[in-house]
Amino acid sequence: MKIRLFIFILTLSSLFINVPFLFANDAKTDTTTAHSFQVSVTTGNNQINKGKKQEANIFYLKPALHYSYKEGLFADFSCAYFPTFKKSNIDNFAIGIGYNFDLGSNLSSSLGYTFTKYYSDLEVSASSPNELSSSFGWDNPVIAPSLNLSYSFGSIQDIYTGLDLSHSFDFEHIFCSSDKLSIPLSMSASFGTTNFYKEYVKQNKITKKIAKANANANGKAKNNTGTTTTTTTEVVDYTTINTKYTLTGLAFGTSISYKIADFSFTPSVSYQIPFNQPSDLKSSRSLIFSFQIAYSF
């Protein structure tokens, strides 16, 4: 039944359109029409939320719809399919609405609201379903900076700031007159409070591995030190997590976006470097991969 529901949602998405809410400024609108639509499907090995990845890599499929009117008003809908989730394979139902502003001189901004419904406790923002967000960007041919701000609220509250620097290499007419290749390089820094992450660790009882040395009665061991080492698993103490506003991570990423006519194909990779993580969680640096197929009309 869940598979059928997912196929129905995926099929329904082909009738409409999307890019994820936070990337609404990237949607290209046909200036000859008032309405613009895009439908996309994204997959990857992990999802990043406010500069933090999920504790374990989780494969997902994310169909999404996007609608914009005259490059200003826009609306989004998306959900995600997790094959390994036991409670509900389909989760992360998100609906958003907002407005893009053209400030002139290659300056732009956006303001929006997103509501997200979660059915699985594995989700990081399970207690923050509401989010107000705003972004400011300056598009120039050398380095394009942008500032992203958001406030999430529900049973817990958090604020988030993202600073991005990017440069894109663009090539047109690669194989035909209607295609384009873009290779953006980006660097981002994430700052914010982490009440949502503390709640995530608490709800899911995230564990850690502890190595303990045990003395042998005969004074002999495999390592010839008179001790043996055993590994046990303990639940992370969520009270040690610092929830104050601070640097939470750095990311370096790139993608290759190939667009032909109204279709686009975008594989991407980012290298995540966490900062100010709880001492007993020992979050490590990691590579995050994703791939998106989109159709615009």
Burial degree of 272 (CB within 10 A; 0-12, 13-18, 19+): buried
Residue-number span of the structural domain to which 44 is assigned: 2-296
What is the rounded distance in angstroms from the CA atom of residue 205 to the CA atom of residue 103?
A: 46
What is the rounded distance in angstroms from the CA atom of residue 270 to the CA atom of residue 252?
A: 5
Per-residue pLDDT for the chain (297 aa), expressed as one digit of tens each? 444 444 444 444 433 333 333 344 444 444 457 899 999 999 998 776 655 556 557 788 999 999 999 879 999 999 988 887 776 788 888 999 999 999 998 999 999 999 988 776 555 555 678 999 999 999 988 999 999 999 999 888 999 999 999 999 999 999 999 999 999 999 999 999 878 777 777 777 776 666 666 655 554 445 555 566 777 777 777 777 778 899 988 999 999 999 999 999 999 999 989 887 665 555 678 899 999 999 999
What is the rounded distance in angstroms from the CA atom of residue 56 to the CA atom of residue 117?
A: 21
Quote the pLDDT of residue 10. 43
Task: Tell me which amino acid residue 2 is.
Answer: K
Q: What angle do CA 96, 100, 106 make, to 5 degrees?
A: 145
What is the rounded distance in angstroms from the CA atom of residue 19 to the CA atom of residue 181?
A: 18
Instruction: Give the residue carrying structure tokens 């194909």.
Output: 265
DSSP 8-state secondary structure symbol assigned to residue 241: -
CB 98 within 8 A of CB 110: yes
Quote the pLDDT of residue 48. 66
Q: What is the CATH number of the domain that holds 6?
A: 2.40.160.40
The structural domain count of the chain equals 1
For the entire predicted model, the pTM comes to: 0.73
Cα dihedral 45, 50, 55, 61 in deg (nearest 10): -30
